[in-house]
Amino acid sequence: MAFLDVDQPKTLGDWVIWLAAMGVLCTSGLGAMAVIGSLREELIKRKVLKEKEANSRSLSQALYYAKKRKLVKFEKEGDKLIMVLTEKGKKRKLQYDWENIKISKTDKWDRKWRLLMFDIPHKQKGIRDDFRRKLVRLGLIQFQKSVWIYPYPFENELDFVSEVLGVSQYLQLLTVTIENDQQLRTKFCIS
């Protein structure tokens, strides 16, 4: 699986999280040293580290801190030890996907509109502005001041964006039908 150039991890600890999310680190039952060896191999292959820089001590520390912070855990599958992300690790990884998120359109429109309403407090103006900018990039159109509209389901994408920004509690998403929606259909290029 190819990595995207946008927002790649910058520290070894972040790479541990990234690689665990990608399911890269699998080893035989040899334990921690085999995991560190797999991590080293993968980072060299991806040109994150040069062979001389990839020492076991720094990789071991990165792995230790990721485990200590409960970002990763190890599970046994048969004779293999697999590193996986915990829920906390999954949240941490979300930051790397921010720029690449897109709403998938269904083949056939279900003739329903998604109205997103939000009331993010004024004291979080910066976050509110970031949220609005992200809605525009995702293709939503402002229907009223804090009401946005989109013709296709986007609950998963909204969950992701609201979790990253920490605004879930301020959002309401409604699925509605709108009579005389020709003007909206035109804006979204729907026949």
Q: Over its length of 191 residues, how does the chain's per-residue pLDDT go in tens digits?
A: 233 333 566 677 777 777 777 665 555 455 566 677 777 777 777 777 777 666 777 777 887 878 888 888 877 777 777 778 888 787 777 666 677 788 888 889 999 999 999 999 999 999 999 999 999 999 999 999 899 999 999 988 888 888 778 899 999 999 999 999 999 999 999 98
Residues 61 and 77 in one domain: yes
Structural domain of residue 111, as residue ranges? Answer: 101-187
Question: What residues are paired with 101 via a beta bridge?
Answer: none
Structural tokens at position 141: 């159109």
Residues 58 and 92 in one domain: yes
HSE, side-chain direction, 13 A CA sphere, residue 123: 0
CATH number for the domain spanning 88: value is 1.10.10.10
User: Does residue 6 fall inside a structural domain?
Assistant: no
Q: State the total domains in the chain.
A: 2
Residues 91 and 105 in one domain: no
Domain final position from 96, 117, 142: 96
User: Does residue 4 fall inside a structural domain?
Assistant: no
CB 72 within 8 A of CB 85: yes
CB 12 within 8 A of CB 36: no
- Please give the helix or strand (H or E) that residue 116 lies within, else none: strand 113-118
CATH number for the domain spanning 177: value is 3.30.70.240
Question: What residues are paired with 174 via a beta bridge?
Answer: 115
Domain final position from 96, 124, 151: 96
